[in-house]
Amino acid sequence: MNRKGILIQSEVLGRGDEELGMLLMANFLRLLEESQEKPKTMVFWNEGVRLICEGSWALGHLKKLEELGVEILACTTCLEYYELVDKLRVGKPTTMHETIQLMLSSDMVCL
């Protein structure tokens, strides 16, 4: 049983040049979509929630991952903080309690 989860904390991958970070995140999501093995769950929090909301360049990749069976979850507190509750376009909101339980029961990778 696949217990892998990925925690996305930002719109970009890594620290430093933001343009490079966006390019790296785009490549990561595209290659994850193409990968034979997929995570069970992807959790988006902090600025990472912007990737699954209206206007995001990443929606196509993330919708495809969801169609392929990856559970996409968004931190409700983060959606509220950034005023994005009504702009969520892929996945579903989750609570910190549910995220903690997921982290404790999964092999979680943080990006």
Report pLDDT digits (tens) over 35-57: 999 999 999 999 999 999 999 99
Q: How far apart are CA 96 and CA 101, in angstroms?
A: 9
Q: Tell which CATH architecture fits domain 4-110.
A: 3-Layer(aba) Sandwich (3.40)
The DSSP letter of residue 40 is S
The Cα–Cα gap between 24 and 109 comes to 16
The pLDDT tens digits of the residues spanning 63-90 come to 999 999 999 999 999 999 999 999 999 9
CB neighbours of 24 closer than 8 A, spacing ≥ 6?
12, 13, 14
> Is the pLDDT assigned to residue 108 strictly greater than 90?
no
Is 1's pLDDT higher than 60?
no
Per-residue pLDDT, 94: 96
Nearest to 90 by CA among 63, 67, 55, 50: 63
Residue 111: per-residue pLDDT: 67
The ranges assigned to domains in the chain are 4-110
> What is d(CA 88, CA 75) in angstroms, rounded to the nearest whole number?
11
